[in-house]
């Protein structure tokens, strides 16, 4: 049985707690490895290693930091196939999707390579008589990244790429469900020339999370996960004086106006709703056709499209999506389907009971489609996080606009239309953090930033891009003058320049 411990000070260590969690192969249901849960003492060892490394790294000039990151980017790219296959074996998403997971992480590393330009401060010469003012961005110190199971490559690189580029050290606490890729990413960082101790990985559960939140030497926490835990991490971070950005759950809507290209909308919604078995915070699990005619045209094309989906094992190159991550998660999604039926939604396609021949013990769910879902249903209010698509019918543009705007989550939204004025108005008025116009999964590119609104995000600063750089740095402003003789200005009066 493969054993996974921690990666601290450039070495894989076994861990001492004696507590372990099973890592499953979602395709077969078999236990393939065990990961050791960390302890507060092991976290402290990792932090002290990071403190030492960060003190030296902060004094490395930005162009040298950029070179290390560029070498890292090249190495991760060279190991793409290995990382994607390893990711699929623990998460269950198909290998092509896993490659996308790694690639979107590499995108942020590429942006982080631009740190010599991005971390420049500001300068004003002659702000007063002989007085210059300039600002500089300083690293925070040691920061922590707590990442979810659904993107075990992309989201860690979002966080530690930006943190390390700006002069910080990072403690990474990945999901215990699929920790092998984060561990491998840390190994590759050292192989690329990254300083020992600058990126440490400690595996664990709530005990380690609480130890991170309470540790005096950890200055900031970046988190992605469920909204309840995101809120908890945000509150505890504030309690202990830490900066925090905590991204939570989502219930993203896809609005289809009557003039939309229906073929394109159906194809996009199909992938956005069922890709990666729906285990994406930017999935599109709710579609809102505007008008009865639009809804009927959507169903006419969506039903046969769903029938054409192929569910297969992660390594099947023809599969559209694979299993969900664990048996417990499969049971949770199934319970939501049961509940939606009880709540009165119309079940059009039932994914329960799906079995893949030869892989009957795998965690597979077929696609599920509900019509006539209403806003008072629990299954509409909550995030299902599985291959389940719900149709909420709207009569007007205003009604469709109100649905995502009034929902507790505000991560992403999409609208399908050929009407530029309607799209512009929708994008301006909708109360959601990320908007796609004829784009189903509007995850911003690396030089913009990622972040939702309402219960989808806690904290004022988004992930990656220039927002990420601001999160991982603190501004110091210097006001200076070099007089050639003493001034006669009174030191008792506030200077006005």
Residue 273 lies in a domain: yes
Bridge partner list, 135? 122, 477
Whether residue 395 lies inside any domain: the answer is yes
Q: Provide the CA 492 distance to its chain's centre, in angstroms.
A: 51
Judge whether 377 and 332 are in contact, CB under 8 Å: no
Residue 485: predicted pLDDT: 79
* One domain, residues 201 and 291: no
Distances from the Cα of 255 to the Cα of 25, 106, 274, 405, 444, angstroms: 36, 31, 17, 12, 19
Range(s) of the domain holding residue 268: 253-437
| 497 domain-assigned | no
CATH number, domain of 187, equals 3.40.605.10
Q: 339 and 215 in one domain?
A: no
242 and 263 in a single domain? The answer is no
* Series of mean pLDDT values for 10-residue runs along the chain (497 residues): 96 95 97 97 98 97 97 98 98 98 97 95 92 96 98 98 98 98 98 98 97 98 97 98 97 98 98 97 97 98 98 97 98 98 98 95 98 98 98 98 98 97 98 97 93 96 95 96 76 67
Instruction: Give pLDDT, residue 320.
Output: 97
Query: Are 395 and 369 in contact, with CB atoms under 8 Å apart?
Result: no
Instruction: Give the span between the Cα atoms of 458 and 438, in whole angstroms.
Output: 28
- In a domain, residue 445? The reply is no
* Together in a domain, 468 and 415: no
Predicted local confidence at residue 484, as pLDDT: 83
Residues 382, 325, single domain; the answer is: yes
Known catalytic residues are 281
Of 115, 122, 116, which Cα lies nearest the Cα of 162? 115
Which of 343, 339, 321 is closest to 331 using CA atoms? 339
Could you count the other beta carbons within 10 Å of the beta carbon of residue 123? 12
Residue with token string 């989550």: 409
> Tokens 């009927």 identify what position?
296
Angle between helical axes of 227-239 and 206-214 (0-180°, round to 10): 30
Residue 102 pairs in a beta bridge with none
Same domain, 185 and 292: no
Element of type H or E holding 435: strand 434-437
Q: Residue 247: beta bridge partners?
A: 224, 457
- pLDDT of 486 reads 73
Domain identity same for 385 and 417? yes
Q: Do residue 82 and residue 32 come from a single domain?
A: yes
Task: Note whether 224 and 259 are same-domain residues.
Answer: no
444 lies in a domain?
no
Q: Tell me the whole-structure pTM to 2 decimals.
A: 0.95
**Shared domain check, 218 and 156:** yes
Per the structure, the count of domains in the chain is 2
Shared domain check, 429 and 363:
yes
CB 203 within 8 A of CB 173: yes
Q: Would residue 485 count as lying in a domain?
A: no
């Amino acid at each position: 049985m493969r054993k996974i411990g921690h990666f601290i000070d450039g070495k894989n260590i076994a861990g001492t707690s004696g507590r372990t969690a099973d890592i499953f192969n979602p395709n077969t249901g078999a236990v393939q490895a065990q990961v050791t849960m960390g302890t507060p003492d092991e976290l402290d060892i990792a932090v002290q290693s990071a403190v030492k490394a960060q003190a030296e790294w902060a004094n490395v000039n930005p162009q040298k930091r950029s070179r290390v990151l560029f070498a890292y980017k090249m190495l991760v790219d060279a190991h793409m196939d290995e990382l994607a296959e390893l990711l699929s074996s623990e998460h269950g998403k198909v290998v092509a999707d896993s490659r996308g997971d790694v690639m979107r992480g590499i995108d942020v590393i590429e942006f982080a390579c631009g740190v010599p330009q991005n971390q420049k401060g500001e300068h004003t010469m002659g702000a007063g008589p002989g007085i210059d003012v300039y600002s500089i961005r300083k690293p925070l110190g040691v920061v922590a990244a707590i990442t979810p199971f659904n993107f075990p490559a992309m989201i860690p690189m979002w966080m530690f790429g930006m943190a390390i580029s700006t002069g910080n050290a990072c403690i990474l606490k990945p999901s215990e469900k699929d920790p092998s890729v984060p561990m491998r990413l840390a190994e590759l960082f050292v192989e690329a020339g990254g300083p020992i101790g600058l990126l440490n990985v400690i595996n664990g559960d709530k005990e380690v999370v609480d130890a991170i939140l309470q540790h005096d030497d950890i200055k900031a926490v970046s988190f992605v996960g469920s909204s309840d835990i995101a809120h908890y991490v945000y509150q505890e971070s504030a309690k202990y004086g830490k900066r925090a950005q905590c991204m939570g759950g989502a219930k993203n809507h896809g609005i289809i106006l009557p003039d939309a290209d229906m073929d394109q909308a159906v194809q996009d919604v199909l992938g956005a709703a069922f890709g990666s078995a729906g285990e994406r915070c930017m999935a599109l699990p709710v579609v809102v056709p505007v008008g009865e005619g639009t809804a009927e045209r959507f169903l006419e094309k969506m039903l046969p499209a769903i029938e054409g989906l192929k569910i297969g094992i992660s390594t099947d190159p023809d599969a559209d999506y694979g299993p969900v991550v664990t048996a417990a998660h499969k049971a949770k999604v199934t319970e939501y389907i049961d509940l939606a039926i009880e709540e009165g939604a119309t079940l059009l396609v039932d994914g329960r009971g799906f079995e893949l021949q030869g892989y009957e013990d795998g965690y597979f769910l077929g696609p599920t489609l509900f019509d006539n879902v209403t806003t008072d249903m629990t299954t509409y209010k909550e995030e299902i996080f599985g291959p389940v698509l719900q149709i909420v019918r709207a009569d007007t543009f205003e009604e469709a606009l109100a649905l995502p705007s009034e929902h507790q989550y505000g991560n992403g939204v999409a609208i399908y239309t050929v009407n530029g004025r309607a799209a512009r108005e929708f994008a301006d008025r909708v109360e959601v953090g990320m908007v796609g116009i004829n784009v189903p999964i509007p995850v911003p590119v690396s030089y913009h930033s990622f972040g939702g609104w309402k219960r989808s995000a806690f904290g004022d600063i988004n992930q990656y891009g220039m927002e990420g750089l601001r999160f991982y740095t603190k501004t110091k402003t210097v006001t200076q003058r070099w007089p050639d003789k003493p001034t006669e200005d009174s030191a008792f009066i506030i200077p006005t320049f």
